[in-house]
């Protein structure tokens, strides 16, 4: 069994990719392998990726969505027999230096999911999040906690460590940005052990788009709630949801 895979979902990240890869390798050396999941990039991302011979590259022929990239990363990790997969974004909002903390958390072996939280340590809050994103995160974190009996502080941070054997048991299908809303339900129903880890809150590009209707905060919130409650309803028996929101 290989110990740790670092999986980076990317879409048109030519501005950041080379620097992020260099910084990750500088932090972890050869203690972890790196996988790029390219979600149909149309810029120079594919060329930059294949130039890094020590990095695995998994391209999508077309843009399938953020969730689809994560699911493919989990499947890759299982196929090649990694014990853990750490997911992190490529827009320089996830500090590679925090990988040391994830490695330490993995070594304690007391959780199946180690989820980054940008709101646990005020000293790490370098930027103020866009108001609509913080509002939606707070509301959904409350919904997730009350319905699933969890105690999360950040439901939408993509900086996470996942025990591969545990994630293999989850029937993950949500391809888009609502992926966490399905993920938390399935984790809770599977009885996975979850802990949070403080990470930096950085917003280099607060105007970055989600695309389509999801750029409208109200429609984005409605979509996320729909995915959450649809997943809850599929996981019978479920508690009554009438007063959830």
Residue 205 has pLDDT above 70, yes or no: no
CATH code, domain carrying 168:
3.90.550.10
The whole-number pLDDT of residue 206 equals: 61
For 106, the token pair is: 């993995």
- Strand positions, DSSP E, 60-145: 82-87, 113-117
Confidence of residue 240 (pLDDT cuts 50, 70, 90): very low
Question: Among 21-35, 50-64, 127-141, whose mean pLDDT is lowest?
Answer: 127-141
Strand partners, 36: 8, 57
Is the residue at 38 inside a domain? yes
Domain of residue 140: give its range: 2-234
Q: What is the mean pLDDT of residues 74-79?
A: 98
Nearest to 168 by CA among 143, 150, 186: 186
Phi, psi of 61 (to 5 degrees): -65, -25
User: What average pLDDT does the structure give for the chain?
Assistant: 91
- DSSP E strands in 53-120: the ranges are 56-59, 82-87, 113-117
Total domains in the fold of the chain:
1
Is the confidence at residue 238, as pLDDT, over 90?
A: no
Specify if 156 maps to a domain.
Answer: yes
DSSP letters spanning 146-168: HHHT---S-S----EEEEHHHHT
Round to whole Å and give the CA distance between 173 and 183. 9
Q: Residue 229 domain-assigned?
A: yes
Is 76 within 8 Å of 86 (Cβ atoms)? Answer: no
Summarised one tens digit per residue, pLDDT across range 139-193 is: 999 999 999 999 999 999 999 999 999 999 999 999 999 999 999 999 999 999 9
Asked if the model's pLDDT at residue 134 lies above 80, the reply is yes
Question: Is 204 a domain residue?
Answer: yes
Contact call for residues 116 and 195 (beta carbons, < 8 A) = no
pLDDT category at 209 given cuts 50, 70, 90 is low
């Amino acid at each position: 069994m290989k110990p740790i895979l670092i999986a980076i979902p990317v879409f048109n990240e030519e501005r950041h990719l080379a620097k992020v890869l260099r910084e990750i390798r500088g932090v972890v050396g050869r203690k972890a392998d790196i996988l790029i999941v390219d979600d149909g990039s149309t810029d120079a991302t594919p060329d930059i990726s294949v130039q890094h011979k020590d990095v695995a590259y998994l391209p999508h022929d077309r843009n399938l969505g953020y969730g689809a990239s994560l699911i493919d990363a989990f499947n890759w990790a299982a196929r090649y027999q990694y014990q853990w997969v750490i997911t992190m974004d490529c827009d320089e909002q996830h500090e590679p230096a925090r990988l040391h903390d994830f490695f330490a958390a993995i070594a304690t072996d007391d959780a199946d999911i180690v989820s980054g939280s940008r709101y646990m340590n005020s000293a790490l809050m370098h930027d103020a999040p866009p108001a609509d994103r913080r509002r939606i995160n707070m509301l959904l974190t409350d919904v997730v906690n009350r319905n699933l009996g969890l105690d999360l502080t950040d439901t939408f941070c993509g900086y996470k460590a996942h025990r591969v054997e545990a994630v293999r048991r989850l029937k993950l299908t949500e391809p888009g940005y609502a992926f966490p809303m399905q993920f938390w339900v399935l984790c809770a129903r599977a009885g996975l052990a979850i802990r949070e880890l403080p990470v930096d809150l950085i917003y280099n590009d607060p105007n970055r788009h989600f695309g389509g209707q999801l750029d409208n905060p109200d429609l984005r919130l409605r979509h996320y709630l729909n995915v959450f409650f649809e997943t809850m309803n599929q996981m019978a028996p479920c508690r009554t949801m009438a007063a959830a929101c």
